[in-house]
Structure 1
Amino acid sequence: MTAMPDVSRGEAVVAALVAELGEKTVLSGAERPARNASDWSTLGPQAPLAVIRPATTEAVAAAMRICARHGVPVVPQGGLTGLCGGARPLPGSVALSLERMTGIEAIDPASATMTVRAGTPLQVVQEAADAAGFLVPLDLGARGSCAIGGNASTNAGGNRVIRYGMTREMILGLEVVLPDGSVVTNLNRMIKNNAGYDLKHLFIGSEGTLGIITRLVLRLFPKPACTFAALCALPDYASVVGLLTAARRGLGPMLSAFEVMWPDYWETVSSMPGVRVPLAQGHAAYCLIEAQGTDEAFDGPRFEAWLEAQTEAGLLADAVLSRSVADVKAFWGVRDACSEFPQVLGTHESFDIGLPVAGMDDYVRACKAALGQRLPGITALFYGHIGDGNLHIVAGVKGAHPQPKDVIQEVVYGLVREFGGTVSAEHGIGLTKKPWLGHVRSEAEIALMRRLKAALDPDGMLNPGKVLPGKDLPGKTLPSEILPGDAV
């Protein structure tokens, strides 16, 4: 059910926001940008009462105080590249976009840190680190559009988690605006700092439901001097697990990515224009291995010798080794071809799940069989960051409008629960996954999440209706949207 917005309250809060922040910061009516009505999810647009575009932390705090006083909820927005509806406005809400809060404030070479404003695109952060001789290892396909604050609020993963960890491991300090408008600033630049609770972890991965991240201190890493890659064909999934174990042992800290693609994925991208596929079809699995080193003359031969040893051990049916940076990019082009699936496959459902690595192929087989039984003729492709237990699924019935989403989700998430996985590995919960949160989180865990929400946001004003199934706060009616199948 959807609560009807209070028109007079909406008009009052917009007037108060304009009076405090100005018409250039607060856009309402016909001035509201269409892009702020949704994110990259398939939920469709929902126009907010107004779009606030503050340029300072103080303006964010002022906006929160005004909205809290009028009882109007606020939905934080970064680059709007989320896939789960976490940044999509709700009826009767105000959208607070951090798009103007951009820029690198400081790079400290001695402590290897960067202080950056939350609305800064990830690619800008990467390029600034590179120019200073460092690396920000977080990397994902939406790098040119996603904002670093949004990456933190969803605890983004990306391609190199196996070496550097999730976004959480790259953050030393945060500045956060709480739901009541108070500001907590802890721009810590020290790796070792055990002075009380490490409060930043409350907000990293909380999807804007507990506070609005406005500034961050990021750890910087040494910039690799060289990068190598190999595309491998494997005879079975046991060889995939064996190769991953060998890569961890033999390559050590050089190992930066371990991506696996199942045969249906490989066959699909092989037919796509502009994608160079250097290995033949017909193998049980395909793996992209990337290693980053500090000395090309030493690490290059080391990587090649390691790959030859795996062939001799019988783990590889075929392999091709990069000989240039262009080869590395071309290999990644095979893995990143999934971004073109909407044009190739038409409408479909996409999934981001996590599973224990050893049982991942068993899950794939069970999922393909169950989907085929429930929906004959369905296309289901499997691929992902297997080195960190993250599997992506693309599934759709060709020509079906709309897609049988409920059936597909029931199969995919039902088997996730059966195999002891997670419904979200790196994209968050937002709106679309909250009906399934109970599949992978216990009642006690969800109850604790509710207690944290109630403690930090007792009036339920910050991104209500997201993440937690049903109502955010027991007994409280919020202008939230409850999805079909959600328990109120």
Structure 2
Amino acid sequence: MEDEIRTVLSEELGDLATFGAEIPERYRRDWLSEQAVTPIAVIRPRTTEDVSRALRLCSRLGISVVPQGGMTGLVGGAQPVAGGVALSLDRMTAIEEIDEVMATVTVEAGATLGDVQRACEQAGLFLAVDLGARDSCQVGGVISTNAGGNRVIRYGMTRENVLGIEAVLSDGTIVTSLNKLLKNNAGYDLKQLLIGSEGTLGVVTRAVLRLHAQPQSFCSAFCGCADFAGVIGLLKAARSTLGAALTSFEVMWPSFYDFMCDGLPELRRSLAGRHGVYVLIEASGPAGQARQSLEDLLAAEIDAGHIADAVLPKSERETTELWAVRESVSEYGRLMGPLTGFDIGIPTGEAGAFVAEIEAALARHWPDVHALSYGHIGDSNLHLVVNVPSAGAHQPHDALCDLVFEAVSRYGGTISAEHGIGTIKRDYLHLTRSPSELEVMARLKRALDPRGILNPGKVLAPPHSATSQAVSPTVSPSATPPSGPA
């Protein structure tokens, strides 16, 4: 049967399709998976019409299609399936137009986020979506996972920065809605169905992204707080004092900060002594204004007792050093064995209690555990990275997921804040989505993908999941992501 499918694909798609041993390794697994899967073919279209032709053909043949972007996801969303095809948009990289009047950029889905950022910067505009994997991740993947990043507190998730989308449905239908208008209430907003759907409802081929004025300067401050109550006081004051100038509010608990600083000699501690919680604040604005606003904020918050100590960098080099610890997540492989990473959302005011509870619970179950807590707490996103040294290569990831996700549910949080569901969180989705929500999701899937060929086994379990392959959430220390768990 597969030989017949290969023949049909080859005849109808020509050089768009690659088969067997000719398929490069990068298309056989996404970043998270240790197990390579060779699909029947990799299809690399050059145009939206090529995508339409490929999906129409696969729908007719009844074979699964896994869309692939930059392969930097952390939930197994781009992992190919045996007996299906992988659809990579890495040939569709055009930055078609930067409209300086409308403040938009129109791009093909295979363009990397970093390339689009640089093109916009040259035009004097600013693409606010930013990820550590910016030079690897592709716009289509960023949209399909509704990626977040460090500046969500100011500019929102990817969803808030997408004005228009062109996509291809499972039957090959091209839906073009490349809207540039900030205000457009004409009927259903179809793009919202596709943003964050992880390629299960359609394949994004082009997009219109919203741009902003290029900030004249960014300024950062590093703070030590005695406890999480101080962090909450600082966050409220930062929102009030800085307003729209507040672009990042990153929090690191000692479990993360001390572990990374003690383990990586190139990192420099920016504050004397040790503190209960550490905070990185970034503000943007006209030259000099951001720094003055931060100085005023720090002085007031030290007087209020929310900050025990703080530092403002005097140079770009010192700014880089301040952020080095927070961005050292790509170095986990140097410090620990296989790890299980959690990207969760917790109501901001409860994050301190949650961290204290979950770190204590993990230590009770696994006394030698490394549990590192940090994240974008200004937008309620917490990252937790866990390694049990005594377990070696056989990390207890199922037990870890059960423990952590049950606690997330009790706290009214979400099992996925910015990396999606993929395969590794699919079976826990019911903990943070109601039965009625799950049923509506299933209805949408049936309506837009009636044959169930698009990214099977991702997000929602398909009625027949013989071709879906779950991916272990345990990350190999040798597989360092372009950004690490952000």
Aligned match for 1:293, one of 282, 285, 291: 285
Cα displacement (A) at 1:374: 1.2
Deviates more, 1:44-53 or 1:229-238: 44-53
Which residue number in structure 2 is paired with residue 4 of structure 1? none
- Give the secondary-structure state (helix, strand or coil) at the position aligned to 2:325: helix
Tell me whether 1:46 sits opposite 2:40 in the alignment.
no
Cα displacement (A) at 1:20: 2.2
1:13 and 1:66 in contact (8 A); partners too: no
Cα displacement (A) at 1:268: 1.3
Instruction: For 2:265 and 2:6, locate their aligned partners in 1 and report how far apart those are by CA, in whole Å.
Output: 49
Which residue number in structure 2 is paired with residue 432 of structure 1? 424
Tell me whether 1:117 sits opposite 2:108 in the alignment.
yes
Residues 78 and 482 of structure 1, relative CA distance in 2, 3 Å threshold: closer
Residues 281 and 460 of structure 1, relative CA distance in 2, 3 Å threshold: farther
Cα displacement (A) at 1:196: 0.5
Which residue number in structure 2 is paired with residue 352 of structure 1? 343
Instruction: For 1:401 and 1:478, locate their aligned partners in 2 and report how far apart those are by CA, in whole Å.
Output: 27
Q: CA RMSD in A?
A: 1.3
Instruction: Percent identity, please.
Output: 50
Instruction: For 1:230 and 1:193, locate their aligned partners in 2 and report how far apart those are by CA, in whole Å.
Output: 39
Task: Please identify runs of 4+ aligned residues in structure 1 that moved more than 6 A.
Answer: none
- Give the secondary-structure state (helix, strand or coil) at the position aligned to 2:181: coil
Structure 2 length as normaliser, TM-score?
A: 0.94
Which residue number in structure 1 is paired with residue 318 of structure 2? 327
Instruction: For 1:85 and 1:480, locate their aligned partners in 2 and report how far apart those are by CA, in whole Å.
Output: 11
Cα displacement (A) at 1:385: 0.1
Deviates more, 1:453-462 or 1:268-277: 268-277
1:173 and 1:217 in contact (8 A); partners too: yes
Aligned match for 2:274, one of 282, 307, 318: 282
**Paired amino acid for 1:79:** G
Tell me whether 1:143 sits opposite 2:110 in the alignment.
no
1:267 and 1:281 in contact (8 A); partners too: no
**Paired amino acid for 1:450:** A
Matches within 5 A, 1:190-201: 190-201=181-192
Which residue number in structure 2 is paired with residue 238 of structure 1? 229
Matches within 5 A, 1:307-326: 307-326=298-317
Aligned match for 1:211, one of 202, 218, 222: 202
Deviates more, 1:65-74 or 1:337-346: 337-346
Matches within 5 A, 1:15-414: 15-23=7-15, 25-42=16-33, 44-271=35-262, 272-294=264-286, 296-399=287-390, 400-414=392-406
Give 5+ residue unaligned stretches, structure 2: 473-486
Cα displacement (A) at 1:12: 2.5
**Paired amino acid for 2:341:** S
Instruction: For 1:343 and 1:12, locate their aligned partners in 2 and report how far apart those are by CA, in whole Å.
Output: 47
Instruction: For 1:344 and 1:397, locate their aligned partners in 2 and report how far apart those are by CA, in whole Å.
Output: 12
2:241 and 2:293 in contact (8 A); partners too: no
1:348 and 1:395 in contact (8 A); partners too: yes
- Give the secondary-structure state (helix, strand or coil) at the position aligned to 1:22: helix
Structure with more relative contact order (C-alpha pairs < 8 Å, separation 6 or more): 2
Instruction: For 1:277 and 1:477, locate their aligned partners in 2 and report how far apart those are by CA, in whole Å.
Output: 49
2:457 and 2:465 in contact (8 A); partners too: no
Deviates more, 1:25-34 or 1:384-393: 25-34
Structure 1 length as normaliser, TM-score?
A: 0.94
